[in-house]
Amino acid sequence: PPGGQRPGIASYRKAGGAAWASVAADGTITGTAPAAPGKNPELVVVGVKDSAGATDTVTVLVPVVDPAARLRLKAASWNLHDAGSGYTDALEKQLRVVLAQGLDVIALQETAGERARTLAEALGWHAYQSPGSVGILSRHPLTDVTAPTAELPAAAATVQLPGGRGVRFWAAHLDETGYGPYAVQDGGTAAQVLAAENASLRVRQAKALAAAVRADVARRIPLVLAGALSSPSHLDWTAATAAAHGGVGAFDWPVTAALRGAGLTDTFREEYRDPAKAPGTTWSPTRKRRGDRPEPQDRIDYVLYAGALKLVEAHTLVADWPQPEPNSAADEWPSDTAAAVATFQL
């Protein structure tokens, strides 16, 4: 092996590019960037030699940010649909989404107890991985981690940003049992559906989440909650959208109402006020049938926030044009759920 490295481990060197940058043998790029950055990223050309002696180069784009510029954070919630096990080349596709979209911190669900960690290892990023569904993937270091519990299936960590600033980030995946839109489609009245929802484990979890988040909000630190809440929003079911929701008009879904009560703002509805014009559907880009009936389509994945953050933009995300199930295995989008994305300025 070259340089005494273990078999299978590559060695690196600087082959060109920015004069201020250096490249260590393990591939780490360090250096002091110019005080007055240009408009374009700096380039560093890295030479690599593997354990068999084969060589290649890679050009790395290094964004150089004016230290006086306001920090931005691009956050997302993404349900990975059983960690992507039903899709070809799922890990590569997941990595491509994260990098191509410029995401900074992602709340992941259905990770199979490993995918947040696996993605972080591939990217050289940071992660918190629970034994179950929830994980956090972050470009920046994570501290002060709060692990999920049976009563509260949500993890939290402080995202440590440059300049000593931090954002408290919550990642949640609430119980999916007794899904409300199915009850509506099956003929339940609004009163029946609301009663069942209020009695559900999902709402108990939402209330526990609201209480936990409220404690962070009281500390007056910037806070983002991203998650698969398994419930539509009270902001989406209105008289104007009744035709899209089984004829039910305004409906105060208790999951999102609980988080509203904790002082959180829904980024997508702040960006797009009219749910009739911009439904923001996340469930589902690929699940279009429920037996012999249409699959109810709703926004059930969210990015919410509180504190000293300014919303720059919010959107839902699906890459390419996914084919509906059962023909979705080769889709470039390796999930049955659209991601919810929001960009903040500190």
Domains detected in the chain: 2-62 (no CATH), 72-345 (3.60.10.10)
Residue 59: phi and psi, rounded to 5, are -100, 120
CB 233 within 8 A of CB 299: yes
Average pLDDT score, the chain: 95
Q: Which residues of the chain are under the pLDDT cut of 70? A: 1-8
d(Cα 240, Cα 277) in Å, to the nearest integer?
A: 10
Give this prediction's pTM.
Answer: 0.88
The reported pLDDT for the residue numbered 6 is 52
- pLDDT reported for residue 7: 53
What are the Cα distances from residue 222, in Å, to 174, 214, 228, 277? Answer: 23, 12, 21, 30
| pLDDT for residue 34 | 84
DSSP letter for each residue of 160-192:
EEGGGEEEEEEEEE---TT-HHHHHHTT--HHH
| pLDDT score, position 8 | 60
Q: Of 101, 89, 172, which is closest to residue 130 (Cα–Cα)?
A: 172
Helix, strand, or coil (residue 156): strand
Q: 55-62 and 72-79 as β-strands: parallel, antiparallel, unpaired?
A: unpaired
Cβ contacts of residue 179 below 8 Å, gap of 6+?
230
pLDDT on residue 187: 97
Q: How far apart are CA 234 and CA 265, in angstroms?
A: 12
Alpha carbons 29 and 44: distance in angstroms, whole number:
9
Alpha-helical segments (H) within the chain: 90-100, 115-123, 180-185, 190-198, 201-218, 254-261, 267-271
Q: Which amino acid appears at position 277 of this protein?
A: K
